[in-house]
Amino acid sequence: MGCLGGITSPFWSLRERRGVDLPHNKVTAEMPTRTMPVPSKVILPMQQHVGARCTPLVKRKDHVNVGMLVGHAEARTTADIYSSVSGTVTEVRNIYYANGKSDVAIVIEPDGEQTVDESVWPPEVPDYRMLVHAVKYSGIVGLGGAGFPTELKLDVDVDSIDTWLVNGAECEPYLSSDYREMIEHPDTIRRGLETCLDLSGVPHAIVCIEDNKPKAIELLERTFADDPRVDVLAMPTRYPQGAAHVLVRNATGREVPRGGHTTDVGCVLFNVTTMSCIGRFLEDGMPLVKRRVTVAGDAVANPQNLEVCIGTPIREVLEFCGLREEPHKVVTGGPMMGVSQVDLDYPIVRQNSGLLAFGEASARELETTACIRCGTCVNSCPMSLSPIEIMKAYRRGDMAALDRLMADLCMECGTCSYVCPARQPLTQNVRLARADLKAEKRKAKGR
Ligand code: SF4
Ligand code: SF4
């Protein structure tokens, strides 16, 4: 099909006015990735993915190497956890999240040697089944923030798929981790994507990149210039362009049905760094033990892209970058969909593409005022929902209305809260409504 070469999607007009233009603040975009030294300790929570928690396979005083399996679960939906350092296990203990939930974590004191475990070996993948099987033992999850086990995403009926989408949109402000992957490692992206296409037989791939990244678009066009299966698509820069259903719609014109998946409309969708990670794993066999994190925000003295060992405490990352002032708000991920962290001893985990620290002035919460019925939240929602009506229905406990208003379609992108002039807590309420509606539906199905 050849490269589309900076041409925007013919389907974009479907939702032209939805979403929101955000200040990009991607000050780290042109900074080459630096590698952070091995930290004083790594903390490996046993749930760094969507699905079942892993069980620790090591105990206090055990010696571990880089790439050694330390957490495993028998469940179907899970992703194994590997040590990011060589050293000694000092603790296996509970840790607590900001939402009150707890997890088990393995704490390792590095020996500084970074000895690679003898189990690390490039996999042989003669066919698609073996590729899926190999990725199961890679610890790779969706690196754009979702944390969904990649093996499960690959494990689909490939005969029903005609389009392999690669998400290089990186539409959240501040973040430039995926952008650096595209600039620094186009060859591993190519290796990962072309292996998947070769072995699956899926005939067409589209690498989707927002048009505020012209260097990445040009570089990937050149990278795939001789592969007629791969198009590079320049998409308009508008948040949340990278959200799964939005991207499928804007790249292919297909609507994922309510409650359905991208596979229902013949598409699979992978984050661009995830694709690259598959390419790297096929080459050296090293499971996912480190990742690039964009460290930014106005409290950070030296914003940058850092490659860190998974499990590095947030505090050590911030100390390495330096702080202008005591952070009043620390977020892992992007400012729109990221998670606020209250404990700086909590670690960087696999799906954290960003670490943002904000000072007192920018972290201050604005006062909520009465809804002025301006309709901006409704006009901006990329899923065509009515956030204000959903919030009202949630507050009066009206499940039938939540179902009618399709609260379950919310992807928690934060657009409605961002655009609301009254600073109504729309996203928070729609998130709760969505959870309640899903629980109600599960109950109705007897599950
Ligand atoms: S209702 Fe959900 S999907 Fe719509 S703008 Fe708000 S957070 Fe985004
Ligand atoms: S954007 Fe805010 S003020 Fe406007 S209708 Fe929605 S909730 Fe009300």
DSSP run (H or E) holding 433: helix 426-444
CB-based contact 268:159 (threshold 8 Å): no
pLDDT confidence of residue 447: 61
Q: Has 208 been labeled as part of a binding site?
A: no
Contact 272, 29 (CB under 8 A): no
Domains in the chain (CATH in brackets) are 12-31+122-284 (3.40.50.11540), 376-444 (no CATH)
Question: Is 413 annotated as contributing to ligand binding?
Answer: yes
- Report pLDDT for 13: 42
Q: Which of 366, 367, 374 to mutate to test the pocket of ligand 2 (most atoms within 8 A of CB)?
A: 374
What stretches of 23-170 show up as alpha helix (H) in DSSP?
Answer: 128-136, 150-154
Q: Whose CA is nearest to atom 1 of ligand 1?
A: 387
Q: Quote the ligand 2 centre to 11 CA distance (angstroms).
A: 28
Q: How far is the CA of 413 from the centre of ligand 1 (A)?
A: 5
Residues paired with 313 in a beta bridge = 347
Residue keyed to tokens 């689909």: 156
State the pairing for strand pair 230-235/204-210. Answer: parallel
On whether the CB atoms of residues 303 and 36 are closer than 8 A, the answer is no
Ligand 1 site, residue 412, Cβ cutoff 6 A: yes
Query: Whose structure tokens read 């799964």?
Result: 244
420 C-beta closer than 6 A to ligand 1: no
Buried b (16+ CB within 10 A) or exposed e, 253-286: ebebeeeebbbebebbbbbbbbbbbbbbbbeebb
pLDDT of residue 388: 97
Query: Which of 122, 118, 177, 115 has its CA nearest to residue 144?
Result: 177
**Closest among 382, 386, 384 to 424, alpha carbons compared:** 386
Helical H segments across 123-271, by residue range:
128-136, 150-154, 177-184, 186-200, 214-223, 244-252
Residue at token pair 């093996």: 151
CB 428 within 8 A of CB 417: yes
What separation in angstroms does the CA of 29 have from each of 122, 174, 293?
Answer: 31, 9, 12
Q: Determine the Cα angle at 180 with ends 248 and 82, to 5°.
A: 85
Residue for token pair 């399996």: 69
Query: Mean pLDDT for each consecutive 10-residue tract of the chain (447 residues)?
Result: 46 61 94 98 92 94 98 90 98 86 94 97 96 94 88 96 97 97 98 98 97 97 98 94 92 92 96 97 97 97 98 98 96 94 93 95 89 95 95 96 95 95 96 93 78
Q: Is 277 flagged in the annotation as binding?
A: no
User: Is the distance from CB of 105 to CB of 95 less than 8 angstroms?
Assistant: yes
State the Cα–Cα distance between residues 319 and 40, nearest whole angstrom. 12
pLDDT of the residue at 144? 84
* pLDDT, position 5: 47
Dist. CA 251 → ligand 1 center (Å): 20
Strand partners, 164: 205, 268
Angstrom distances, CA of residue 88 to CA of 42, 60, 69, 184: 10, 8, 14, 33
CA of 147 to the centre of ligand 1 (A): 20
Pocket test for ligand 1, best of 238, 239, 412, 431 (most atoms within 8 A of CB): 412
409 lines ligand 1 (CB under 6 A): no
